[in-house]
């Protein structure tokens, strides 16, 4: 497996390189990077199967790197001294997480998991799964992380009124702030938010059911949202919408 070591601490990279050379001989270390910018260039150059990624680095963190890379075709093993990221990583479905100082047994186990994952060509890279799921930090906290060009912003689900399709983007409409255009499809957010009180009532709209103010009858009908938006309901979604409010046809 071709691998990259991405960590701003040279000592940490040297220790990890030594462990991998001795205990994981099938890992070929193709390069190193000490910040997000260098890491992006190294990934483009070497096309790795695996990256060992520190969370906190200069010029951004590990999640910023995964955002910048986009559709990652590599696996990721997080290596960090900050244990408060462990819960976040688990919430994000990160399968590979090592806490500094690195345990050799844990390192070997993580590499073995990656190896098995790479042997399944149908499996989605864990880095992509992680990044997709990262946008819900914690279901109990009811927050969503929206990726921006300069980083990301955390918003409360209760502040989102509707999500509107805009080609390959999604426009978020809020209760108390201007709309935001986010580089993700509406289908992505439909799958992410459907268990949190959101319903796709139209091919172009995902609505927060908690913000429905009125419903006007019709073939599919129309809902009026708390921010004044009037949203047409497709006939196929009418029954599901009314069922939520315990109403019949």
Q: What was the pLDDT predicted at 249?
A: 47
Q: How many residues does the chain have?
A: 249
Partnered with residue 214 across adjacent β-strands are: 224
Q: Residue-wise pLDDT tens for the chain (249 aa)?
A: 999 999 999 999 999 999 999 999 999 999 999 988 899 999 999 999 999 998 777 667 777 787 788 767 888 888 877 655 554 554 444 447 788 889 999 899 889 988 887 777 655 555 555 555 554 444 444 778 787 776 678 888 999 999 999 988 999 999 989 999 998 889 988 988 887 889 999 999 999 999 999 999 999 999 999 999 999 999 999 999 998 887 644
* Maximum distance among all Cα pairs of the chain, rounded to whole angstroms: 70
Residue 241's CB: how many other CB atoms inside 10 A? 20
**How many angstroms separate the first and last alpha carbons of the chain?**
58
Q: What was the pLDDT predicted at 114?
A: 86
Encode the chain in three state secondary structure.
CEEEEECCCHHHHHHHHHHHHHHCCCCEEEEEECCHHHHHHHHHHHCCCEEEECCEECCEEHHHHHHHHCCCCCEEEEEECCCHHHHHHHHCCCCCEEECCCCHHHHHHHHHHHHHHHCCCCCCCHHHHHHHHHCCCCHHHCEEEEEECCEEEEEEHHHEEEEEEECCEEEEEECCCCCEEECCCHHHHHHHHHHHCEEEEECCEEEEHHHEEEEECCCCCEEEECCCCEEECCHHHHHHHHHHCCCCC
Cα–Cα distances in Å, from 241 out to 72, 170, 215?
37, 22, 10
Structural domains of the chain ordered from first start: 2-134 (3.40.50.2300), 157-244 (2.40.50.1020)
Q: What was the pLDDT predicted at 69?
A: 82
CA distance 105 to 79: 14
Q: What was the pLDDT predicted at 90?
A: 45
Q: What was the pLDDT predicted at 85?
A: 55
Q: What was the pLDDT predicted at 137?
A: 42
Sign of the four-CA dihedral 56, 57, 59, 65:
negative
CA distance 140 to 148: 23
What are the φ and ψ backbone dihedral angles of 8, each rounded to 5 degrees? -80, -10
Q: And the tokens for 170?
A: 């999604």
Q: What was the pLDDT predicted at 63?
A: 72
Q: And the tokens for 103?
A: 């345990």
């Amino acid at each position: 497996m071709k691998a990259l070591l991405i960590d701003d601490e040279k000592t940490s990279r040297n220790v990890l390189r030594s462990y991998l050379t001795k205990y994981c001989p099938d890992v070929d270390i193709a390069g190193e990077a000490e910040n997000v910018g260098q890491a992006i260039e190294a990934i483009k150059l070497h096309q790795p199967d695996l990256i060992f990624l520190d969370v906190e680095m200069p010029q951004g963190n590990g999640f910023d790197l995964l955002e910048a890379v986009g559709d990652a075709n590599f696996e990721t093993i997080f290596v960090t001294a900050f244990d408060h990221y462990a819960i976040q990583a688990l919430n994000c479905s990160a399968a590979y997480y090592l806490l500094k100082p690195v345990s050799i047994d844990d390192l070997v186990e993580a590499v073995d998991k990656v190896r098995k994952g790479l042997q399944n060509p149908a499996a989605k890279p864990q880095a992509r799964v992680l990044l997709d799921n990262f946008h819900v930090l914690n279901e109990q906290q009811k927050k969503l992380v929206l990726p921006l060009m300069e980083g990301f912003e955390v918003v409360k689900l209760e502040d989102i009124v509707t999500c509107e399709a805009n080609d390959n983007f999604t426009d978020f409409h809020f209760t108390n702030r201007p709309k935001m255009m986010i580089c993700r499809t509406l289908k992505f957010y439909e799958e992410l938010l459907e268990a949190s009180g959101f319903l796709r009532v139209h091919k172009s709209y995902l609505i927060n059911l908690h913000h429905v103010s009125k419903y006007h009858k019709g073939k599919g009908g129309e809902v009026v949202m708390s921010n004044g938006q009037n949203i047409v309901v497709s006939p196929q979604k009418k029954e599901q919408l009314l069922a939520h409010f315990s109403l019949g046809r």
